[in-house]
Structure 1
């Protein structure tokens, strides 16, 4: 069936109660099986396995891979085959959704192992005992759940943020489970076509796999690579043409055009408002400020003499995060009625008006009671295990709330969670509160950044459940089950297979853990307090903070007619320009498509119809429709297919490249380790 969604006009004009009632009457699927034994067990098994891929890739690259869409397709395929063989029945769409919530939380619950935990070990030269890791990571995951659900009411039910990856998972499930119908079959074909194209491009981009499988070179990672290599580069040099800004090569400013189409699809889901906001921020940062600051010697090159995202972001992230912080806080507190109503329900009398979704939402009492309890446990454990003073641990709790707002806003708009930037901001805070205490700096940042990341990722998982009409409290339970499953398998592998008690492996070629290296480096720098920040960076913090408030206030006063997003504008200071450009192209391309389709629809209906914004759903008109109308009607399906295909191929290539096609040094290391093991026997 076609997914039912509110139009942007309805989102702006309807009250929260009206939106909840509309969802209950039009989307909610009642008591359809959701969190069943088989969905729970399947999610835990798939999540446990996929957590290992995330663990190893994170150890090598510092990145966490989303596994939601992967688990959805695997679970659907397994139960479809079993059903055809007469063994059991297929999963319901909501069982598959509950399963993906469990699998996804299992996939990312172990990220501190290759970030904050590894950084702590590098600083103290001591490996955290495994039992401490189990308790600490479960507390972080649980606190993320408790912070997420009060925010769900605001960001999913009321503001209807897209959460692009979550939306993609919802569209994939709808297409898979509704494919018997004509419309569902058409959507399934679009989904498969977009996925196949994206997967094929990702395969062509991987040089190691292309050489191994086909003996051929890969296509360039960016279209502009032809400007920097071969005869064309010599020709440009002869003509005196160099692609630079103020003498800085465009490639070192990350001003490139990526050949991947995954971020283009992400832009199609996020809409034109966010796409334009990202582009404005990207131009301001990479075209205007960064070249000027490099020329003035304020942004300095790396030891290798290059710039790139890492060097530029050392200056840019402070102003960008400040803009995201103030705008997120202003946006959250600009609708006090929602906050007051939530807490008023705690002391509501029997004859007072009830929340229409009270019977399926996770009760806010759970968060009100649970957050203080779990926080106190973390504060006590932080003191007992990591030497954090009680008051410094207590400061982390309100910081979690602030950073969760930022993370959820960013993830909801772009599917990008700025965990690294939030961690650095926490480290800066504790660099001021506890100068010289490097262990407190690392582990306090672990609380705020990891809990905020857990909360935003959980809301990404809840988004497809909201789209498909599931029960939110089931997904809360599933998130906890997933955390248990992920740790049950990945923790023993981390301790007994990967690090094997050898602290010296951290930061080496065998175990690069780049995220942890960054955490440690920032902690060491921040021991100096604010003195390391250039005066222009301090000015950028003030300007970014004021800009975030100004944009959100203007949007609030204009009732949404001012469409710039301060969160997206600030986030652009943390991303590569190539990713920003791709997301803008996707949002702009699908917006143009939908504008043209809207005009055709208006003419076909023989009545005037204003052009709809990029996110708007188009009404169905009987009869054949041109390709651009079909494309506009199926924007979510096409983009979801591209994201799913690229993600699946990307995960497969990453695992293949690291495990099956290692470099010579990796082969030698593995051989030495195997020889050592056999020799000990």
Structure 2
């Protein structure tokens, strides 16, 4: 069945009430089985085991992998086999969706173990007791859920942000479960074709696997590697382009991501990337403001030490302006809570998570975090309380970024919190680390939750079922990963952190940032402070113009700011994807206009003038989501397979990073 979606014109012109009524009539699937016992148990079992993949890869590389698409395909295959054997029946599409919400929550709930928790242990030389880790991580996950659902109404129902990875999961489920129909079968073929192509490219890119199994080198990670083999090393102001991250990767995963995000976001990313990497970074390097690593060379980390402050400022002001520019949604939600009958009844109130759950739950869970933060980690009550409103601001930034590009800038948000606490609590490094854990990890949980709700919205599911699913997933993820972390990996030996056996690069970065940011704003170069002001003003101006023109001005300030935190290679790939599919869709529109006659009855669809098959570009435009979802899913599955293969079979597991940094970011990580 073809997924029903609003057109860009409808998104801009229809009110939220009209969009909700349209969705209820055209998309909602009523009481189709969703959060059943078998979907819950399957999601918890799959999620708990898949969480171990994230635990190990996070420990080795600092990145985590999204497991939503993987769990969708595994669950579908499992119940299809059981059905063929006469031992059960196929999962419904909404059962599979509820299952993936649970599995995904289980997959990323353990992220603090190899970031903020490990950093805290490195600073204090103590192991956080496991019972404290259970309570702390569950509270962070629950607070993320409570912050996410008030934002769902705005970013998913109203603005209809793409959330590319979530959209890909929805398309995969639709193709798997609807493949009996002719259209569904065609979409399934496109999905599989894109998946196989992407998976094959990822396999060829992994030089270690190619050498180990096939005795071949494989293809280079980037096209510029070929030039360097020929002795050609392009530079910009004397800096090699690859050290400015200006390269063209051979992976096609980010190209597919760009196809889902749209041309407006793609152009915004490109403009921000050109400004940062072609103009500002070379100029700042030439003047000694951006300095090389100790061993020489630059790269994303050195450049982002300067660039992230202006980029985050732009994302912050644009996200806040965008959220508060339509206050009616916020006011109506709270009026509906404090006084029934004051506003028109919400047509979705019987399936949405009630706003009162967040209004009541956020203060309670926040109070628990403040109290245990003081008791266990020595965070002053007032400093802990300040983290709560910061979570709201950072959740807006994270959701905006994830909704547009599928990338959550958790690392950048953590550094911004650490800077804030460096000013509020100078010299208190434990407060710095654990307070940042609250804001960054809760914002990460909220944005990931909305990523998982997106396919449910596409398929007509009940949002409150997915909220319950995330709670179940959090419990399931910790049930297995926490004992493995404590009793198998670290075994109480703090000295392992930062070694070859347990490198935990994410935690090393958190600790290093805390040590630097203890100096407050004094460590920032004056030009970085100017960039903060310019970025903040630019974010407001762009969003104000977009609001005034009712979306006709399509640049995204959040995307421009995010470009200062990403590799230019990723930016370039996403732009190419958005441009390619935009051109495809424009050509398809022209074909339709030239091959259809106006309807004879008002309201009826146009009739084709010429019978016969549609051209390839029309089919491509009509199946953009399917093609891109296949590419993302195929790259994801191959990447996870290569990563697990590296862990279990191949020697020298420290080189797991060869699986592909870009792949990890698409599937749940962040810069």
Same fold (TM over 0.5): yes
1:462-495 Cα shifts (integer Å, max 9, x gaps)? 0000000000000000000000000000000000
The partner residue of 2:652 within 663, 670, 674 is 663
Displacement of 1:228 in angstroms is 1.4
Separation in structure 2 between the aligned mates of residue 72 and residue 352 of structure 1, nearest angstrom: 39
Equivalent pairs, count: 649
For residue 586 of structure 1, what is the aligned residue in structure 2?
577
In the superposition, relative to structure 1, how do residues 186 and 542 fare at CA in structure 2: closer, same or farther (>3 Å)? same
**Structure 2 residue 55 is matched with structure 1 residue 66:** no
Match of 2:668 in 1: none
Q: Is the aligned partner of 1:51 residue 2:42? A: no
Is contact 2:82–2:88 with CA below 8 Å preserved after alignment?
yes
Matched, 1:137 2:137: yes
How many angstroms apart in 1 are the aligned matches of 2:309 and 2:238? Answer: 25
> Aligned residue for 1:625?
614
Where do residues 600-619 of structure 1 align in structure 2 (5 Å cutoff)?
600-606=591-597
Answer whether contact 1:510 1:666 (CA < 8 A) is retained.
no
Who is 1:651 aligned against? 640
Where 1:228 maps in the other structure, the secondary structure is helix
Q: 1:640 aligns with which of 629, 632, 643?
A: 629
The corresponding residue for 1:151 is 151
1:208-242 deviations in Å (ceiling 9; x for gaps): 1111111111210001101212xx21xx4xxxxx5
In 2: Cα distance, 1:513 partner to 1:173 partner:
34
SS at 2:179's partner residue?
coil
Displacement of 1:349: 3.0
Instruction: Please tell me whether the aligned partners of residues 60 and 654 of structure 2 are also in contact (alpha carbons under 8 angstroms).
Output: no
What aligned pairs does 1:439-458 form with structure 2 within 5 A after superposition?
439-458=430-449
Following the alignment from structure 1 to structure 2, what is the Cα–Cα distance between the partners of residues 63 and 280?
27
Q: Which of 472, 481, 486 is the matching residue for 2:472?
A: 481
For residue 107 of structure 2, what is the aligned residue in structure 1? 107
Deviation at 1:606, TM superposition (A): 3.7
Q: 1:620 to 1:56 in 2, by over 3 A?
A: farther
Aligned counterparts, 1:423-434, within 5 A: 423-434=414-425
TM-score (norm 1): 0.94
CA spacing shift, 1:438–1:31, aligned 2, 3 Å: same
1:172 counterpart SS class: helix
Q: 1:302 aligns with which of 293, 312, 320?
A: 293
Deviations 1:66-99 (A, max 9, x none): 0000000000000000000000100000000000
Note the C-alpha offset of 1:122. 0.4
Structure 2 Cα separation of the partners of residues 516 and 664 of structure 1: 19
Q: Quickly say closer, same or farther: Cα 1:620–1:183, change in 2 above 3 A.
A: farther
- Pick from 319, 327, 333 the counterpart of residue 328 of structure 1: 319
Deviation at 1:656, TM superposition (A): 1.0
Which of the numbers 535, 538, 552 marks the counterpart of 2:529? Answer: 538
- In 1, Cα distance between equivalents of 2:348 and 2:73: 30
2:345 matched to 1:354?
Answer: yes
Would the alpha carbon gap of residues 134 and 210 (structure 1) be closer, same or farther in structure 2, given more than 3 Å must change?
Answer: same
Q: CA deviation at 1:658?
A: 2.6
Find the aligned partners of 2:563 and 2:268 in 1 and give their Cα distance. Answer: 8
The C-alpha deviation readout for 1:287-307, integer Å capped at 9, x for no partner, is 000000000000000111010
Q: CA deviation at 1:350?
A: 4.9
Matched, 1:266 2:254: no
Residue 674 of structure 1 is matched in structure 2 by none
Question: SS in structure 1 opposite 2:396?
Answer: helix
**1:256 and 2:220 aligned:** no
Alignment correspondent of 2:667: none
The separation in 1 between residues aligned to 2:487 and 2:50, in whole angstroms, is 18
- In 2, distance between residues paired with 1:348 and 1:642? 48
Query: How far 1:348 sits from its partner (Å)?
Result: 2.9
Q: Cα gap change, 1:178/1:545 in structure 2, threshold over 3 Å: closer, same or farther?
A: same
Q: CA deviation at 1:257?
A: 0.2
Aligned match of 1:573: 564
Give the superposed CA RMSD. Answer: 1.4
Cα shift at 1:607 = 5.7
Listed as ranges, the matches of 1:105-504 within 5 Å are: 105-229=105-229, 232-233=230-231, 236=232, 242-350=233-341, 353-504=344-495
- Asked if 1:95 corresponds to 2:105, the answer is no
2:586 aligns with one of 595, 602, 616: 595
Shift of the alpha carbon at 1:353? Answer: 2.4
Unmatched 5+ stretches in structure 2: 600-604, 657-671
How far apart are residue 323 of structure 1 and its match? 0.1
- 1:655-679 Cα shifts (integer Å, max 9, x gaps): 1113311318899xxxxxxxxxxxx
Q: Is contact 2:647-2:653 (8 Å) kept? A: no
SS in 2 for 1:494: helix
Cα distance change of structure 1 residues 269 and 665 upon mapping to structure 2, 3 Å threshold = closer
- CA distance in 2: counterparts of 1:190 and 1:562, whole angstroms: 33
Q: Is the 8 A contact 2:336 2:342 kept in 1?
A: no
Residues 665, 45 of structure 1: CA spacing in aligned structure 2 closer, same or farther, 3 A cutoff?
closer
Which stretch shifts more, 343-352 or 253-262? Answer: 343-352
Q: For residues 254 and 654 of structure 2, what CA distance do their matches in structure 1 show? A: 33
2:221 touches 2:250 (CA, 8 Å); kept in 1?
yes
Please tell me whether residue 21 in structure 1 is matched to residue 21 in structure 2. yes
Runs of 4+ displaced beyond 2 Å:
347-353, 618-623, 664-667
CA contact 1:396–1:444 (8 Å) conserved in 2: yes
Contact persistence 2:332–2:343 (CA under 8 A):
no
SS at match of 1:661: coil
Looking at structure 1, the residues matched to 655 and 234 of structure 2 have their Cα atoms a distance apart, in angstroms, of: 37
Is the contact made by 2:335 and 2:343 (CA closer than 8 Å) also made in structure 1? no
User: C-alpha deviations, 1:293-335, integer Å up to 9, x for none?
Assistant: 0000000001110100000000000000000000000000000
Q: 1:400 to 1:304 in 2, by over 3 A?
A: same
Q: State yes or no: 1:561 paired with 2:590.
A: no
